[in-house]
């Protein structure tokens, strides 16, 4: 399969799954969607029909990866438990709130320390996501990081 095919052509969040979001969370969601569309590494294990279109949804406490080819034909609909990510989602939401509050009135060194913790947690979550999905999808770390941001956007209602 060519590298050009091992990517996401488009990414969407299921509107029924979206949690209410603060302005900061909404901005992070938009940035993650934009960045994912611009640059990603995504392949379906055992398939060679990319590039792909991904719809992420939260369904009964599970994360749904609904993947189609560029013609709209479903390639795979994979559900994974949110259990491995629940604590990280909660902790990540808290550290993001702290970060956005710190930006308004904290010293640069405090902002940097919070941001380092936030990035570390984001990396941990990306690693867990890659591991949980490795039998179905091949994704690079940056793609996994951005997907985790989108998973966070789905978690409250899902």
- Calpha distance 40→51 (Å, rounded): 11
Residue 15 scores a pLDDT above 90: no
Please report whether residue 17 resides in a domain: yes
- Cβ burial of 131 (10 Å; 0-12, 13-18, 19+) is exposed
Q: Which domain holds residue 110?
A: 8-154
Please report whether residue 149 resides in a domain: yes
Please report whether residue 22 resides in a domain: yes
Q: Please give the model's pTM, rounded to 2 decimal places.
A: 0.87
Please report whether residue 139 resides in a domain: yes
Residue 64: what pLDDT? 95
**Backbone dihedral region for residue 46 (phi beyond 0: left; psi -120 to 50: alpha; all else: beta):** left
Please report whether residue 2 resides in a domain: no
Q: Describe the chain by its helix, strand, coil percentages, rounded to 5.
A: 50, 25, 25
- Calpha distance 150→25 (Å, rounded): 10
Please state the domain count of the chain.
1
pLDDT in tens, 111-132: 999 989 989 999 999 999 999 9
> In the chain, count of helices (H) and strands (E)?
4, 6
Q: Kindly calculate the radius of gyration of the chain based on its CA atoms and give it in whole angstroms.
A: 16
Please report whether residue 105 resides in a domain: yes
* Contact between residue 148 and residue 125 where contact means Cβ atoms under 8 Å apart: yes
Please report whether residue 47 resides in a domain: yes
pLDDT in tens, 39-73: 999 999 999 889 999 999 988 889 999 999 999 99
């Amino acid at each position: 399969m060519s590298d050009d095919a091992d990517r996401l052509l488009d990414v969407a969040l299921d509107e029924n799954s979206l949690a209410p979001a603060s302005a900061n969370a909404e901005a992070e969601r938009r940035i993650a969607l934009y960045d994912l569309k611009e640059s990603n590494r995504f392949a379906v294990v055992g398939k060679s029909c990319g590039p792909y279109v991904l719809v992420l949804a939260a369904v009964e406490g599970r994360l749904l990866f609904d993947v189609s080819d560029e013609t709209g034909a479903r390639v795979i609909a994979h559900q994974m438990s949110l259990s491995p990510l629940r604590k990280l989602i909660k902790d990540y939401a808290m550290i993001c709130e702290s970060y956005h509050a710190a930006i308004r009135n904290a010293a640069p060194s405090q902002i940097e320390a919070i941001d380092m913790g936030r990035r570390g947690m984001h990396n941990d979550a990306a690693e867990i996501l890659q591991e949980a999905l490795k039998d179905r999808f091949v994704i690079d770390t940056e793609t996994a990081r951005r997907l985790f941001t989108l998973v966070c956007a789905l978690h409250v209602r899902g």
